């Protein structure tokens, strides 16, 4: 099995990509979720996450979440809330090997792409949404931004999910923010972590992407 260490990092759209994310990418396909359509699974690059910053942006050659287009019969393998609106597109980004989950990018209209996390449900034979990861939307008066980070805070080999939700005014000034640390619950969903675990993630270590 061939593996490669690489960085998926962002220090601001205007400044280019930095070195925030460290992940192990594997080319193996056999270990992906049992029973999922293998041709569909091959659309997702395999990554073993150490730390990954997930953010929304306009597509560019350097954007690490461009992904591969999901089209045709493969769209039937997505739950309804993962399918794009009419005229939109959905892309396969990564299979998170150490979380057994899938990251997808959804592009609707002129808005920046949103990124979501999904898991395979063998009962339905489809990927089903677990969490919204990243988005950036604006109206005339304000913008809403979400960034996310995957990291194993307590070295127990289970990934935690950190989200930062911000409201920005028309000039890009922060109006409000919510910083949340989440862990997997018994149902496999992410829910708010206890205080002891959350204390391992001081907010100043998690810098959001810049859309200025």
Please say whether the beta carbons of 20 and 51 come within 8 A. yes
Q: How many domains does the chain have?
A: 1
Instruction: Calculate the CA 68 to chain-centre distance.
Output: 15
Q: What letters, b where the CB count within 10 A reaches 16 and e where it falls short, cover 19-54? A: ebbebebbeeeeebeeebeeebbebbbbbebbbbbb
Q: What is the pLDDT of residues 37-69, one digit of tens each?
A: 899 999 999 999 999 999 998 767 789 999 999
Give a yes or no: residue 65 inside a domain.
Answer: yes
Give a yes or no: residue 93 inside a domain.
Answer: yes
Give a yes or no: residue 211 inside a domain.
Answer: no
Report the percentage of the chain scoring pLDDT > 70: 82
* Predicted pLDDT at 23: 54
Confidence of residue 148 (pLDDT cuts 50, 70, 90): very high
Give a yes or no: residue 169 inside a domain.
Answer: yes
* Predicted pLDDT at 35: 57
Would the pLDDT of 9 be above 80?
A: no
Give a yes or no: residue 212 inside a domain.
Answer: no
Give a yes or no: residue 183 inside a domain.
Answer: yes
* Predicted pLDDT at 84: 87
Query: Cα(107)–Cα(134) distance, rounded to whole angstroms?
Result: 12
Query: Cα(26)–Cα(10) distance, rounded to whole angstroms?
Result: 21
Give a yes or no: residue 201 inside a domain.
Answer: yes
Domain hosting 175: range is: 3-205
Q: What is the mean pLDDT of the chain?
A: 85
- pTM of the predicted model, to two decimals? 0.83
Q: What is the pLDDT of residues 169-197, one digit of tens each?
A: 988 899 999 999 999 988 888 999 999 99
Question: In angstroms, what is the C-alpha Rg of the chain?
Answer: 17
Task: Note the maximum CA span of the chain.
Answer: 51
């Amino acid at each position: 099995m061939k593996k490669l260490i690489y960085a998926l990092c962002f220090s601001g759209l205007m400044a280019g990509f930095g070195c925030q994310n460290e992940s192990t990418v594997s080319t193996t396909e056999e270990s992906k979720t049992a029973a999922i359509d293998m041709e569909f699974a091959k659309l997702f690059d395999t990554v073993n996450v150490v730390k990954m910053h997930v953010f929304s942006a306009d597509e560019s050659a350097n954007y690490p979440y461009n992904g591969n287009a999901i089209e045709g019969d493969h769209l039937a393998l997505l739950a309804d809330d993962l399918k794009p609106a009419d005229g939109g597109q959905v892309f396969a980004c990564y299979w998170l090997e150490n979380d057994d989950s899938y990251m997808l990018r959804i592009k609707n209209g002129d808005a920046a792409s949103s990124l979501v996390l999904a898991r395979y449900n063998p009962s339905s034979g489809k990927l089903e949404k677990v969490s919204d990861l990243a988005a950036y939307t604006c109206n005339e008066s304000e913008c809403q931004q979400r960034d996310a980070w995957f990291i194993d805070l307590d070295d127990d080999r289970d990934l935690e999910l950190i989200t930062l939700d911000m409201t920005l005014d028309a000039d890009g000034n922060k109006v409000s923010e919510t910083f949340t640390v989440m862990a997997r619950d018994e149902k496999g969903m992410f829910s708010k972590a206890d205080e002891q675990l959350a204390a391992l993630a001081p907010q100043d270590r998690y810098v959001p992407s810049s859309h200025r």
